[in-house]
Amino acid sequence: MHTSPHGPQAIPLIIGIVTMTLIGCAALVAAHLARKSRRYRSYRSACISFACLSLLAAAGTLLQVALPICNQQPYATWLNVSFLALAGAISASFLCVAHGRHETTSLSLILAPTLMLLVGDIWPALPAPPPLTELAAAYTALGTVLVLPYWLAWRLLHQRLTGRPSPFTLRRALGFSGLYGACAIVLFVALCWHGHHPTSLPSAFGWAGVANVVVALLLSAGISIYALYRRGRLQRWLSEEQQRS
């Protein structure tokens, strides 16, 4: 539990608030100047995104100084996660409408560390991961039943993006499902054989569910980006800068 930020302990926080506020205001001024310059106009969105990140960080620190409860757990974690998620959403919204490589790259450089800070704040609040064998058993058991829904979703998405049938056929999906099932049986038999009682199975299935979803999203995102690139649908992000008045 953190102590209340009063007296001498509040001085570093106040200095941080002033510094982050000045940085945010400077980024807003830079965004205003970039708007007037044809050469630097592509970096205007990144300046605004960075200004929002700095000002939100200053606002969060100010709340911790003004309200002692915001400096105690779990409220401090919730506050940091909320402000970082808002800053990440602002950067992501700008990235969705970005034009050209310079604007896309600059916004990505703002969004990536924001997401890393967000994960860093969320990670300690998560329950401890279970033993590796239990996690692998739960992961393969869930994968056995999740392969077919993933195949169906990917089939529809691939056909919509490319207009062609998906290379991830039903036969391959059934093969992956059988492989997952065999691995799950072997892992659970190994747990019983060595006398391990899987007391952490609820936690293991929770972690395994998140892992399955993350892997599915990464695979879908990668294949979708490749399909869009082959169709020339990424020109807005990859082409030369489009000068806009």
Q: Does residue 2 belong to any structural domain of this protein?
A: no
Q: Does residue 1 belong to any structural domain of this protein?
A: no
Is 121 in the same domain as 154? no
Is 22 in the same domain as 115? yes
Is 36 in the same domain as 54? yes
Q: Does residue 242 belong to any structural domain of this protein?
A: no
Q: What is the DSSP letter of 8?
A: G
Is 44 in the same domain as 149? no
Last residue of one domain, picked from the residues 70, 102, 125: 125
Is 45 in the same domain as 90? yes
Is 14 in the same domain as 106? yes
Last residue of one domain, picked from the residues 125, 148, 181: 125
Is 12 in the same domain as 94? yes
Is 113 in the same domain as 150? no
* Number of domains the chain is built from: 2
pLDDT of 1 reads 36
Q: Report the amino acid identity of residue 60.
A: G
Q: Does residue 211 belong to any structural domain of this protein?
A: yes
pLDDT of 122 reads 80
Query: What's the rounded Cα separation, in Å, for the pair 56 and 155?
Result: 41
HEC per residue, 88-143: HHHHHHHHHCCCHHHHHHHHHHHHHHHHHHHHHHHHHHCCCCCCHHHHHHHHHHHH
Query: Has this prediction a pTM greater than 0.85?
Result: no
Yes or no: say if 130 and 207 are a contact pair by the CB < 8 Å rule: yes
Last residue of one domain, picked from the residues 79, 102, 125: 125
Is 163 in the same domain as 188? yes
pLDDT of 51 reads 92
Q: What is the DSSP letter of 175?
A: H
Q: Does residue 96 belong to any structural domain of this protein?
A: yes
pLDDT under 50 in the chain at which residues? 1-4, 243-245
Helical (H) or strand (E) element with 243: none
Burial (Cβ within 10 Å: 0-12, 13-18, ≥19) of residue 116: exposed
Is 167 in the same domain as 215? yes
Residue 70 is part of which domain span? 7-125
157-166 long-range contacts (CB < 8 A, ≥24 apart) are 157/220, 157/224, 158/223, 158/227, 161/224, 161/227, 161/228, 161/231, 162/227, 162/230, 162/231
Is 120 in the same domain as 47? yes
Is 82 in the same domain as 145? no
